[in-house]
Amino acid sequence: MTPAARISAAIEVLADIEARRRPAADALKDWGLSHRFAGSGDRSAIGGLVFDALRRKASAAWLSGSDAPRAVLIGALRLARGWDAERIQSLFTGERFAPEPLTDEERSALTGRTLEGAPAWVAGDYPEWLDGQFAAAFGESRAEELAALATRAPVDMRVNTLKAARDKVAAALAHLGVQPTPRSPLGLRITVGEDARAPNVQSEPAFQKGWIEIQDEGSQLAALLAAADPGMQVIDLCAGGGGKTLALAAQMDNRGQVFATDSDKRRLAPIFERLTRAGVRNVQIKAPKGKDGEPLADLRGHADLVVVDAPCTGTGTWRRNPDAKWRVRPNSLDTRIAEQAVVLDRAATFLKPGGRIAYITCSVLPAENDETVAAFLDRTSGFGVIPPAKVAADAGQPDLAAFASPAGHGIQMSPRRTGTDGFYVALLRRTA
């Protein structure tokens, strides 16, 4: 397919997403199935165009003067890719498979409009109803913070220290252009350009041997901040596919026990193969037992650490899931806050005196972070917050103390602040 044909296809997919209000991945898959002549490189390029448009949907519409799919894509080419009007016009020719030529209004918007004077929610590309939350989190810099969440994310990997050292893995993956992550001592990063396909890391021998796991640097740091030491009794209460379970087990050098569970046993399915590949031997999987059964009943009052990778809106991962930000609704936020309260109350029952809860979200909303922690402390006696500066220092990451959350209960990472996805980490100690 020509570059112009790819743009036409991206406009078609964006129109499908808008008309049917469904995830971008589903629309792209259906487009590929109905256009089998398109090769993998074409599908990847079209996906890149679609996701760039979704990342910059509000600002692109402002720049173009319209929120129609074609207008949004034109604006995104200008904002996300830095293309000038001449380059864009050279592809909008109306020739075979190319989009129709730019109108006078479209060209005028490209050359004459800017984001100057745009409200924060437009400049930052986020739903207007969340402006109060982002103002509470980031104040006057919220547009810049959220604009960073509208950029492309790199591919980050965590080196599995049970099997290999970072230098060894970096040498094995040198052909992919890997670089050490700036903050995590376990991370490697691949930066992907606008038209480059992300490499299939899972096909690499280093992955097959269990030397690496795909994991954002922010998630790696969250696991490090939890500070699981060898010999501990640790519970991963929302283990899902096991990303943090594996990181915790490696931190513990296969000594002690990690008990991994999840409210939905289907989410646990990938963990078994991942544990085997990673050489992990100190993890027990505890699947839920029916509607009301507690698979960890015998661990009440015995755990040194309970990791709560809480259900959340995922606002901190919008770089990777840009269409999700336009689907989030107030009722979904309310649902997540209620779920967070339930899981924190459950976590508290497993701790022995002096034990800790590591409360983690991939969110930048205070309602899911500081406010959820504050509400837990208000209704639960015998718990206190470990100061973020101490959490950071104990994990060997003292620089992270500079990113304390607004209320000071935890550490708030973000693409603009830390170069990671938006993760929040708070540690709560049982004092009685």
Which residues pair with residue 429 across a beta bridge?
356, 384
Long-range CB contacts for residues 311-315, cutoff 8 Å, separation at least 24: 311/238, 311/336, 311/339, 311/340, 311/343, 312/336, 312/340, 312/361, 312/362, 312/363, 312/365, 312/368, 313/363, 313/365, 313/368, 314/362, 314/363, 315/130, 315/149, 315/362, 315/363, 315/364, 315/365, 315/422
Query: What is the strand order of the sheet 155-159 is part of?
Result: 179-180, 187-190, 155-159, 212-214
Among the listed residues 146, 239, 249, 362, the single catalytic one is 362
Q: Which residues are annotated as a binding site for S-adenosyl-L-methionine?
A: 262, 309
Cβ–Cβ < 8 Å for 412, 371: no
Q: Which residues are annotated as a binding site?
A: 262, 309
Cα 166 from Cα 211, distance rounded (Å): 9
238 catalytic residue (yes or no):
no
DSSP result, 262-309: -SSGGGGTTHHHHHHHHT--SEEE---BTTTB-TTGGGTTTEEEEEEE
Residue 231's region, left for phi above 0, alpha for psi from -120 to 50, else beta, is left
Amino acid of residue 208: Q
* Among candidate residues 316, 186, 156, 342, the one with its CA nearest the CA of residue 249: 186
List, by residue number, the catalytic residues.
362
